[in-house]
Amino acid sequence: MPFEFARAEIPDIVVIQPSVFRDDRGFFMESYKRSDFAAHGITEDFVQSNHSRSPRGIVRGLHYQKHPKAQGKLVRTLWGEVFDVAVDLRRGSPTYGRWDGLVLSAQNRKTVYIPMGFAHGFCVVSEAAEVLYMTTEEYSPSHEAGVIWNDRDLAIRWPVADLQLSERDRNWPKLCDADNNFAY
């Protein structure tokens, strides 16, 4: 099988490790295969792909889209390294308000599946990083929402001291005040 699937600390988040085949030409790997992902519970259709490049210390997030345009995401880093974070927003969930974070890098080639009902963000820890993520819904500005990156109730341990954020990301509400229509 070209992938290993493991549950994160929050079990609805799945960490996917691809098999990498190396030879004198470089390497080859499958980054997504619908049948393998479906066999491990990831059955959604991915309808949009996004690619970002950011320098060290940039935080993008914590973003989500509300129903009916909520997004599941498959996230991987193509170049560099990021600390990737997902926060459970589903009221009634045993892990509501908890976050999980992991390093995604061009070297470890991991992908993370974040289901709808989670806020997502990442911090660039290398000199720069390029992140590719596929979503289960197209971007909808009218359904966009977020949670402030430094919410004390979440206490996310970002690995870079001098963080930079967009004006929008600096002004999201705390989780307790967020516009959230997710239920477990």
Residues in CB range of 105: below 8 A, 6 or more apart: 77, 80, 81, 82, 126
**Which string of b and e fits 110-128 if b means at least 16 CB within 10 Å?**
bbbbbbbbbbbbbbbbeee
Active site residue 133: yes
Active site residue 63: yes
DSSP class of residue 183 equals: B
Name the nearest CA neighbour of 14 among 43, 57, 35: 43
Active-site position among 64, 113, 120, 133: 133
Q: Which two tokens stand for residue 145?
A: 């929402």
Active-site position among 32, 40, 63, 96: 63
Catalytic residues: 63, 133
